[in-house]
């Protein structure tokens, strides 16, 4: 009895704490309970990192100046110990960070908070021919031949540019393109070459570099081509040859200059991470909190670097998934392989998507089982056999990816997280269960695992819930309390009602 009371009190305290914190954050601090659709706010973080040399180091980073369609509502430059100089040119601002002496890996941050401000694209600047590349033979002939072909396949300036890009991206490339591509090893150089080629035909062209505002890490600033059709600048995507300014494109810099450079450090890297942040409400709250009482926000998840925030968006959902599994196992009574394997599968589904993930999992396990049954005949020892199954699983995965790629389905490629070791163990245990308890039992457990994984995946990726858990991580206290309470749930499991149905017939008498 005392233990029961103790548990109830503890759970009550946890629920009360969690609920109070959520109430406070929602009502007093004004954090939004649901992800808002209209008021998107992006936090763009550009992070330069490099190994400094002994002498003075200097970092140049171009940052947005004109941002048609967007407004930068807040900016931060984080570079401890560095002197900062800002310059401007026509299309961007240039940050110049310098330090006389630096040691250890250096991390410099530029962070901008961006909100949408209507729809607009970049139209400033007068039409002007790009600088013609000085081409030697045989490049000149190739260029002329290519341009002539393109002319025949196009109607106006915009379609000329698109046709040129299309031919440039064609696979396999024509001989001319293959030759010209040697001059342009990277996307920026290619953009510059294309603008130069257009100058041969007296078409004004320029390069703009922009960042697509899609949440995630490892975003890239990509060049786009703009050609002037005597009325306005037309934007053409260099990869797809699509015409028009992408709605979510943030103009980063104009011109063909690389967005960043560290003197004498060719291997320095720029990483751009974008967080699609919650809503205006959250930002306002953040700003207000900074003015009133900074501590609270400083110790919240929002103070973490963006990459870490992204990680926590996933991590915080794991307890939710585990809780679902707890319900399925202890209240419903589904049997699974391993305790937490379904959750690991659910996390793997994040990469593959549900449908493709289910198919892939089933195919891999099925194929793995066949291999395992075959190996049974070879009489291998347990650990070498497990290793062999693991190797075969990896080979099968690679084959699966290649095959799905050839079929034009891009799902198989994002499987880095698929828990292979767990899969190998599953195959092993399933084959044992198959032999010892019969196929029905093995398949039932496998299907149970998959069903739980699917449900857990659907819940763990439900956007309103992801938002809620990230903004109000206190909800985990409530989940903890519920988990502990179920820990003392001693009622029947749903499947037991079925299992013992013979005893529940009305005529079943009492002993």
Locus of tokens 């828990």: 419
492 counts as binding another protein under rule CB under 8 A:
yes
203 exposure class (CB count in 10 Å sphere: 0-12, 13-18, 19+)? buried
Which contiguous run of DSSP H or E holds residue 356? helix 354-378
Q: Among 80-88, 173-181, 305-313, 503-511, which window interacts with another protein (CB under 8 A)?
A: 503-511
503 counts as binding another protein under rule CB under 8 A:
yes
Cβ of residue 334: shortest distance to another protein, in angstroms?
12
276 counts as binding another protein under rule CB under 8 A:
no
Given 17, 51, 330, 388, the residue binding another protein (CB under 8 A):
330
Cβ of residue 419: shortest distance to another protein, in angstroms?
16
CA distances from 326 to 117, 332, 336, 459 (A): 46, 9, 11, 14
5 counts as binding another protein under rule CB under 8 A:
no
53 counts as binding another protein under rule CB under 8 A:
no
Structure tokens at 379: 């009489």
Given 27, 202, 231, 490, the residue binding another protein (CB under 8 A):
490
4 counts as binding another protein under rule CB under 8 A:
no
CA distances from 264 to 99, 268, 497 (A): 14, 9, 73
407 three-state secondary structure: coil
Total number of residues that touch another protein (CB under 8 A): 32
444 counts as binding another protein under rule CB under 8 A:
no
Given 145, 441, 451, 461, the residue binding another protein (CB under 8 A):
441
Q: How many whole angstroms separate alpha carbon 386 and alpha carbon 341?
A: 17
Q: Are 422 and 364 in contact (CB under 8 A)?
A: no
Q: How many whole angstroms separate alpha carbon 46 and alpha carbon 112?
A: 9
Q: Per-residue b/e over 258-289, b at no fewer than 16 CB within 10 Å? A: ebbbbeebeebebbbbbbebbbbbbbebbeeb
Q: Among 84-92, 279-287, 320-328, 381-389, which window interacts with another protein (CB under 8 A)?
A: 381-389
Cβ of residue 511: shortest distance to another protein, in angstroms?
3
Cβ of residue 507: shortest distance to another protein, in angstroms?
10
DSSP code for 139: H
The residue among 285 and 386 lying less far from another protein, judged by its C-beta, is 386
510 counts as binding another protein under rule CB under 8 A:
yes
Cβ of residue 486: shortest distance to another protein, in angstroms?
9
Of 344, 341, 350, give the one whose Cα is nearest residue 430: 341
Q: How many whole angstroms separate alpha carbon 423 and alpha carbon 103?
A: 44
The residue among 202 and 511 lying less far from another protein, judged by its C-beta, is 511
Cβ of residue 73: shortest distance to another protein, in angstroms?
53
The residue among 64 and 448 lying less far from another protein, judged by its C-beta, is 448
* Residue 426 neighbours by CB distance under 10 Å: 25
379 counts as binding another protein under rule CB under 8 A:
yes
* Residue 120 neighbours by CB distance under 10 Å: 13
How big is the chain by its Cα radius of gyration, in Å?
30
Cβ of residue 382: shortest distance to another protein, in angstroms?
3
374 counts as binding another protein under rule CB under 8 A:
no
1 counts as binding another protein under rule CB under 8 A:
no
Given 5, 291, 381, 407, the residue binding another protein (CB under 8 A):
381
Q: Among 174-182, 352-360, 459-467, 484-492, which window interacts with another protein (CB under 8 A)?
A: 484-492
Return the bridge partners of 78, or none. Answer: 109
506 counts as binding another protein under rule CB under 8 A:
yes
421 counts as binding another protein under rule CB under 8 A:
no
438 counts as binding another protein under rule CB under 8 A:
yes
Angle between helices 463-471 and 439-460 (to 10 degrees): 60
Judged by the rule CB under 8 A, the positions of this chain that interact with another protein are 330, 333, 379, 381-383, 432, 436-438, 441, 487-494, 496-497, 499-504, 506, 508-511
């Amino acid at each position: 009895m005392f233990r029961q009371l103790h548990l109830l009190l503890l759970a009550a305290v946890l629920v009360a704490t969690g609920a109070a914190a959520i109430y406070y954050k929602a009502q007093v601090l004004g954090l939004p309970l649901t992800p808002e659709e209209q008021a998107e706010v992006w936090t763009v973080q550009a992070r330069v990192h490099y190994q400094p040399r002994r002498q003075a180091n200097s970092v140049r980073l171009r940052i947005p100046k004109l941002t048609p369609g967007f407004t930068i509502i807040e900016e931060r430059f984080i570079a401890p110990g560095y002197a900062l100089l800002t310059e401007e040119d026509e299309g961007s601002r240039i940050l110049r960070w310098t330090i006389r002496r630096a040691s250890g890996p250096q991390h410099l941050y530029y962070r901008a908070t961006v909100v949408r401000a209507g729809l607009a694209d970049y139209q400033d600047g007068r039409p002007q021919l790009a600088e013609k590349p000085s081409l030697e033979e045989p490049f000149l002939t190739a260029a002329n031949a290519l341009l002539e072909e393109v002319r025949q396949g196009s109607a106006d300036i915009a379609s000329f540019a698109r046709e040129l890009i299309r031919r440039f991206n064609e696979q396999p490339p024509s001989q001319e393109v293959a030759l010209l591509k040697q001059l342009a090893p990277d996307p920026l150089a290619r953009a510059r070459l294309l603008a130069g080629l257009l100058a041969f035909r007296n078409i004004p062209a320029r390069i703009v570099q922009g960042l697509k505002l899609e949440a995630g890490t490892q975003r890239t600033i990509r060049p786009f081509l703009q050609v002037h059709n005597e009325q306005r600048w037309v934007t053409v995507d260099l990869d797809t040859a699509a015409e028009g300014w992408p709605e979510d494109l943030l103009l980063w810099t104009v011109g063909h200059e690389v967005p960043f450079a560290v003197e004498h450090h060719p291997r320095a890297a720029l990483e751009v991470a974008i967080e699609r942040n919650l809503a205006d409400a959250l930002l306002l709250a953040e700003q207000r909190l900074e003015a009133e009482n900074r501590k609270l926000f400083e110790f919240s998840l929002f103070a973490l670097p963006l990459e870490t925030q992204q990680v926590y968006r996933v991590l915080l959902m794991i307890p939710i998934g585990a809780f679902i599994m707890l319900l399925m196992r202890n209240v419903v009574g589904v049997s699974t392989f391993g305790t937490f394997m379904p959750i690991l599968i659910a996390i793997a589904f994040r990469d593959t998507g549900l449908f493709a993930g289910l198919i892939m999992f089933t195919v891999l396990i099925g194929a793995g089982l066949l291999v395992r049954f075959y190996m049974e005949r070879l009489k291998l020892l347990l650990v070498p056999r497990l290793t062999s199954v693991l190797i075969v699983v990896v080979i099968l995965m690679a084959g699966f990816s290649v095959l799905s790629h050839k079929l034009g389905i891009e799902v198989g490629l994002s499987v880095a997280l698929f828990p292979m070791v767990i899969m190998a163990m599953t195959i092993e245990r399933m084959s044992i269960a198959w032999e010892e308890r019969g196929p029905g039992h093995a398949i039932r457990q496998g299907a149970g695992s998959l069903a739980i994984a699917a449900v857990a995946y659907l819940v763990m990726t439900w956007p309103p819930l992801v938002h809620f858990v990230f903004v109000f991580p206190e909800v985990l206290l409530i989940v903890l309390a519920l988990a502990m309470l179920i820990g003392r749930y001693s009622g029947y499991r749903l499947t037991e009602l079925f299992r013992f149905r013979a005893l529940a017939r009305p005529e079943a008498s009492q002993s």
